């Protein structure tokens, strides 16, 4: 399977894919669901390559694994857990069974409790000691931060609730900066942690508690918790009425659809939050029903596999021409790299292929004036993933949106077409001649033949955001199945956590440094001599 694809790649690698692009290809090399369109015409994938990629999906059992996931099987094999974030957005679907019990009644009950609480806060029935809640501070990290932080920004045009802030880093600069802008008497602190043990989150939560205690008598009353660990939230002193629980079959980086999304619900209100869930559910149904070639998550994944595992492009740039999706690249870094950055396959054998790509990016047009130089003329090929809406939310500034769209389309065209030496010479012929013309022209050559895809949609509404996020989640799933890895554990974050715990008393000067390598010891020594202990 893989060899066949590699052989096909070797055959077509040197051709200019621009020559493939005609009206037929432009209509054929797209996948669409409703108004959302994924266009991969500007890649070197042809009909034969696509057929082989689809074969790969079939032979690696994507369909059976997909059904197993939706049906609550324990596909997270290293942790013995089901993977059911889809149940959190299964608003009007049927029962979802885990170990013989339907989880939907609990899911819907928790959603209803979140909605009542969000409404109470937004409408001033739930107050702080100083009156109506003006600020919500979400304290969490990783999946307990990136999803809601990204979504609150993405949904700025719909934000009509209290101001929302996000504290994630244990660096005191993070929490100090946020708390400076809040009044403890009218702030609600949400402690978001699946495990309720994460050191950064628990440290920040205690800092917030101390900050509030300076002017609020019952600090516990202005705290809520989002967690699977009910006992630990009680130990922290948070009343069960403000604890919103979920189960271990929701992975941290897949958790924004449930309680971890509470800050988003506070910002945009329960109705818009439901629209976000409906968008996710619509993408689930599409993923379950559409033929492979028309299936957005599958085609996104197959294009990803082609570029990374077959062509060997190590990174992928995510470039939203949608400023509200500012944090999407950061969110995707966790979703994709924590999920598919694995070195062994499900059975523990070494992975015979590259694991998932490095994902990075910035919104357009900002990136154009920063790193696009390297994307266009650097020596490595970086597949680009553009996202663009037909309309923004600023009707009176639509001319600016049109300029944004023109830039997005221009970039994928430039990456594909490039500019030949002849064209470069012609462009500057009036300014230079002779050897200098030659030298200057060479600096203005664009190799082109650089692949990109475009995800286009009418407008970034809550429903469309839900579709986009579910689309990326399922893309990660499909890539993981094809690579034969477990996308739902994250053992790679553990070693650093253990070593940090051991180093803490040394850094604090409470324990002698011993058993450390010379380089770490030298750095500890330097930092101690400058005041860390
Ligand atoms: O350290 C990685 C991680 O476990 C992520 O997977 C998770 O999203 C994050 O830490 C936060 O975990 P928690 O929600 O349990 O605080």
CA of 65 to the centre of ligand 1 (A): 25
Q: Which residue's alpha carbon is at the smallest distance from atom 5 of ligand 1?
A: 142
Which of 149, 168, 198 is the pocket-test mutation for ligand 1 (most atoms within 8 Å of CB)?
198
* Contact present, 284 and 94 (Cβ < 8 Å): no
CB atoms within 10 A of CB 278: 17
**Quick one: which H or E segment has residue 495?**
helix 494-507
- Atom 3, ligand 1: which residue's CA is nearest? 142
Which 8-state DSSP code applies to residue 256? T
The secondary structure of 268-317 as a DSSP string is HHHHHHHHHHHHHHHHHHHHHHS-GGG-HHHHHHHHHHIIIIIT---EEE
* Ligand 1 atom, smallest distance to 252 CA: 8
411 lines ligand 1 (CB under 6 A): no
Q: Rounded CA gap, 357 and 319, in Å?
A: 15
CA dihedral 469, 491, 510, 175 (to 10 degrees): 0
Strand pairing category for 187-192 and 223-227? parallel
Q: What is the per-residue pLDDT for 412? A: 98
Measured in angstroms, how far is the CA atom of residue 196 from the centroid of ligand 1?
9
Relative to the CA of 140, which ligand 1 atom is closest? 16
Q: Which atom of ligand 1 is closest in space to residue 338's alpha carbon?
A: 6
Tell me 4's DSSP state.
H
pLDDT at residue 514 in the model: 87
Ligand 1 contacts CB of residue 228 (under 6 A) = no
- Residues 465 and 454: their CA atoms lie apart, in Å, by 16
CA distance 441 to 424: 5
Residue 461 CA to ligand 1 center (angstroms) comes to 28
- For tokens 């967690």, name the residue: 227
Given 338, 362, 385, 463, the catalytic residue? 338
Asked if residue 293 lies in contact with residue 299, where contact means CB atoms within 8 angstroms, the answer is yes
Ligand 1 in contact with 147 (CB < 6 A)?
no
Separation of alpha carbons 248 and 444, rounded Å: 54
Q: Which atom of ligand 1 is nearest to the CA of 497?
A: 1
Q: Is 195 in the pocket of ligand 1 (CB under 6 A)?
A: yes
* Measured distance CA(327)–CA(152) in Å, rounded: 10
Does ligand 1 come within 6 angstroms of the Cβ of 253? yes
Catalytic residue among 369, 394, 427, 438: 369
Alpha carbon of 124 to ligand 1 centroid (Å): 32
> Ligand 1 pocket, 143 CB below 6 A?
yes
Continuous H helices in 35-181: 47-59, 62-70, 104-122, 146-154, 172-180
Is 369 a catalytic site residue? yes
Residues 486, 480: contact at Cβ < 8 Å?
A: yes
Q: 55 C-alpha vs ligand 1 centroid, how far in Å?
A: 35
Q: How does pLDDT run along the chain (533 residues), one tens digit per residue? A: 899 999 999 999 999 999 998 888 989 999 999 999 999 999 999 999 999 999 999 999 999 999 999 999 999 999 999 999 999 999 988 999 999 999 999 999 999 999 999 999 999 999 999 999 999 999 999 999 999 999 999 999 999 999 999 999 999 999 999 999 999 999 999 999 999 999 999 999 999 999 999 888 888 899 999 999 999 999 999 999 999 999 999 999 999 999 999 999 999 999 999 999 999 999 999 999 999 999 999 999 999 999 999 999 999 999 999 999 999 999 999 999 999 999 999 999 999 999 999 999 999 999 999 999 999 999 999 999 999 999 999 999 999 999 999 999 999 999 999 999 999 999 999 999 999 999 999 999 999 999 999 999 999 999 999 999 999 999 999 999 999 999 999 999 999 999 999 999 999 999 998 888 999 999 999 999 999 99
Distance 334 CA to ligand 1 centre (A): 10
What separation, in Å, do the N-terminal and C-terminal C-alpha atoms of the chain show? 57
CB neighbour burial string for 321-349, b if at least 16 within 10 angstroms, e if fewer: bbbbbbbbbbbbbbbbbbbbbbeeebeee
The beta-strand segments (E) located in 272-430 are 315-321, 358-360, 384-389
**Residue 252, ligand 1, Cβ within 6 A:** yes
Phi, psi (degrees; rounded to nearest 5) at 295: -95, 110
Q: Whose CA is nearest to atom 10 of ligand 1?
A: 142
| Ligand 1 center–CA 303 separation, angstroms | 29
Write out the two tokens for 253. Answer: 């980086």
Q: Any bridge partners for residue 471, and if so which?
A: none
Q: What are residue 389's phi and psi, to 5 degrees? A: -100, 150
CB of residue 203 inside a 6 A radius of ligand 1: no
* Beta-bridge partner residues of 522: none
Distance separating alpha carbons of residues 182 and 135, to the nearest angstrom: 7
Mutational pocket test of ligand 1: of 193, 194, 195, 330, the residue with most ligand atoms within 8 Å of the beta carbon: 194
How far apart (Å, rounded) are the C-alpha atoms in residues 324 and 462?
12
Please indicate, yes or no, whether the overall pTM of this predicted structure exceeds 0.85: yes
Would you state the structure tokens that stand for residue 480, as one six-digit string? 């993981």
**Omega within 30 of 0 (cis) for the link into 365:** yes
Q: Is the CB of 337 under 6 A from ligand 1?
A: no
For atom 9 of ligand 1, the residue with the nearest CA is 142
Other beta carbons within 10 Å of 310? 23
pLDDT at 93 (0 to 100)? 82
Quick check: 443 and 137 in contact, CB under 8 A?
A: no
Alpha carbon of 288 to ligand 1 centroid (Å): 28
For residues 70-95, one letter each, b for 16 or more C-beta atoms within 10 angstroms of the residue's C-beta and e for the rest, the string is bebbebbeeeebbbbbbbbbbeeeee
Helix (H, G, I), strand (E, B), or coil: what is residue 359? strand
Torsion sign across C-alpha atoms 329, 334, 337, 339: negative
């Amino acid at each position: 399977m893989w060899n066949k694809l590699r052989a096909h790649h070797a055959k077509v690698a040197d051709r200019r894919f621009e020559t493939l692009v005609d009206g037929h290809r432009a209509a054929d090399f797209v996948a669409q669901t409703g108004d959302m369109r994924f266009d991969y015409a500007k890649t070197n994938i042809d009909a034969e390559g696509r057929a082989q990629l689809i074969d790969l999906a079939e032979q690696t059992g994507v369909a059976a694994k997909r059904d197993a996931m939706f049906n609550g099987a324990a596909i997270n094999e290293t942790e013995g857990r089901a993977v059911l974030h889809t149940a959190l957005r299964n608003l009007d679907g049927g029962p979802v069974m885990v170990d013989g019990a339907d989880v939907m009644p609990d899911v819907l009950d928790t959603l209803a409790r979140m909605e009542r609480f969000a409404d109470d806060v937004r409408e001033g029935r739930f107050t702080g000691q100083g009156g109506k809640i003006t600020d919500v501070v979400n304290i969490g990290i990783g999946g307990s931060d990136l999803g809601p932080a990204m979504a609150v920004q993405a949904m700025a045009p719909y934000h009509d609730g209290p101001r929302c802030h996000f504290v994630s880093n244990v660096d005191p600069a993070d929490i100090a900066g946020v708390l400076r802008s809040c009044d403890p008497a009218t702030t609600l602190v949400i402690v978001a942690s699946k495990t309720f043990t994460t050191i950064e989150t628990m440290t920040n939560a205690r800092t917030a508690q101390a900050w509030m205690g300076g002017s609020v008598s019952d600090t516990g009353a202005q705290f809520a918790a989002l967690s699977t660990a009910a006992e630990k939230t009680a130990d922290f002193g948070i009343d069960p009425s403000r604890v919103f629980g979920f189960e271990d079959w929701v992975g941290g980086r897949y958790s924004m659809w449930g309680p971890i999304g509470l800050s988003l619900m506070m910002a945009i209100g329960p109705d818009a939050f439901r629209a976000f869930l409906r968008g996710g559910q619509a993408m689930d149904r599409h993923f379950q029903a559409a033929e492979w070639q028309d299936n957005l998550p599958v085609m996104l994944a197959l294009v990803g596999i082609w570029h990374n595992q077959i062509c060997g492009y190590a990174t992928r740039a995510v470039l939203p021409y949608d400023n509200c999706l500012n944090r999407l690249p950061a969110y995707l870094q966790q979703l994709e790299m924590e999920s598919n950055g694995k070195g062994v396959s499900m059975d523990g054998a070494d992975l015979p292929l590259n694991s998932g790509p490095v994902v990075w990016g910035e919104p357009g047009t900002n990136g154009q004036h920063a790193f696009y130089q390297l994307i266009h003329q650097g020596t490595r090929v970086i597949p680009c993933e553009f996202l663009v809406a037909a309309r923004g939310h600023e009707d009176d500034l639509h001319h600016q949106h049109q300029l944004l769209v023109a830039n997005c389309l221009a970039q994928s065209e430039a990456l594909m077409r490039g500019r030949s030496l002849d064209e470069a010479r012609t462009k500057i012929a009036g300014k230079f001649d002779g050897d200098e013309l030659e030298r200057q022209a060479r600096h203005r050559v664009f190799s082109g033949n650089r692949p990109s895809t475009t995800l286009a949609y009418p407008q970034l509404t809550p429903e469309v955001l839900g579709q986009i996020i579910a689309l990326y989640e399922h893309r990660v799933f499909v890539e993981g199945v094809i690579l034969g890895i477990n996308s739902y554990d994250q053992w790679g974050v553990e070693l650093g956590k253990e070593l940090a715990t051991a180093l803490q008393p040394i850094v604090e000067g409470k324990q002698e440094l011993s058993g450390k390598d010379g380089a770490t010891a030298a750095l500890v020594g330097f930092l101690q001599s400058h005041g860390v202990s």
